[in-house]
Chains A and B, each alone.
Chain A
Amino acid sequence: MRISLTRPLVLYPVSIVLGLGVWEALAQVMPRALFAPPSAVLGRLAAMTGDGSLPTALLGSVQHMLVGYLLAALLAIPVGIIVGRSTAIATAVEPILNAVYAIPPVALVPFFMIWFGLYFEGRVALVFAMCFFEILINVLQGVRNIDRGLLDAARSLDLTGLALYRKVVIPAASPFIFTGLRVGIGRAVNAMITAELFFSAVYLGQMLKTSSNAFDIASTFAVIFVVSLFGLACQEAMRLAERVVIPWHHESTA
């Protein structure tokens, strides 16, 4: 546990520094109108954090992202378990699931606007649509992937009903559930900014639009970078949660 905790702490900064080096090198060959070097971006980042505009915007953005993500997770996990456990339901919904999943959610924005409006509800709907399927498919696969022998053993121990789910199905499927939650939260962060760009521009999306309208590439990159960092933080939080809930999943790499 000790080693694996310290390793990312040592390696992540090394990785970030190396990555910034590559970025700086790229900035030397890319046209200035399109690509800002990390030094300029970090400068803008400091200024935008200093005057409070960036934290305020991030706080606003997090609202629809969290609501959309929680709704998606709360719906996708039980639905995934139910569908995954029942061959009949799975057979019936699978074609529709695959069909709808292929549509780019952005292409649905015009319809979401009509159904949910241009503001908060519309943004929440897009976040939901952009992370629901990723969570669902992982949960579904996790439940289906449970070894038949394990379930037979559980049945021979007279585990039925909710107890079967609590003691066998959910623990056995949990690595997949966590993968889904992690992939899902990454998608939700992506959706957060997408929603602000495609619906009425607010918060970080507004900042992104304003800076890009002014052809201020450093500020544009600064906002994108903050969103990416926030996405990284969210995913790391999910990894931490996973480590606490299913420790063996983590220890295998140590």
Chain B
Amino acid sequence: MRLKRPTIPYIIWMAVFTVIPIVLILLYSFTDRTGSFSFEPLVKAVGYTNVFLNSIWIAFISTVICLVLSYPLAYFMSRLKRSTQNLITMLIMIPMWMNFLLRIYAWVTLLQNNGPIDTMLSLLGIHTQLIGNQGAVIVGMVYEYLPFMVLPLYTVMSKIDYQLIEASEDLGANMFVTMRKVVIPLSVPGIISGVTMVFVPSASTFLVAQYLGGTNDIMIGDVIDKIFWSDRNTGSAIALILMVAILFFLIILNFFGDEEAIAT
């Protein structure tokens, strides 16, 4: 029964559908249109540094907002009755199952000029442009990825032994000290997986900015989409940089996670 053979089809599959495509991206990143070795695509890709920074900035803000909104919610959920916990988990998962384009489109409907929110604000005498700016992109992003922050946080917190919290309170810690010294350190694995699950897709997403942002709010995913159809080399180079950056980010985050695990 100690067979290794069943893995062979998958190894071949990975070679064809994971390794070859990545090798091709690498190859295209280091060649010009004629196919000879060149740094031109990478140099051109560096020209999009602003877009890269903008994407990271938007992803960072969205991740922080998701974390701040989710943390108290996850903590509260973990203190409820079992049946209520299951109900709220279900309520949080349902919107996640809607296609992401529909969820973004819902915000286009809400925020558009003369849309429901705009009309309401006009009645109060407030006239602002709600759509087509960075704020709208961040709202869309937070909406899109909030469940991916709540669920891992909740999973970790529901495993925290409540007696530890009680002990901390008995020993005279107030709520904030208990939070800082007991709950937060114990929930680090949840924070790490939540941050990963929100930051990585939001930094690399495309279309959200096209739907909700203005002309200046282009993100790196959109650039790859736009460029790839006409200039594969530069497109590959940008994709390569994005992939390396994300893997680097994951390694750093994992490193923090291990450190924490050793410390406790």
Partners in one complex: no
A-binding residues in B (CB < 8 A): none
B-binding residues in A (CB < 8 A): none
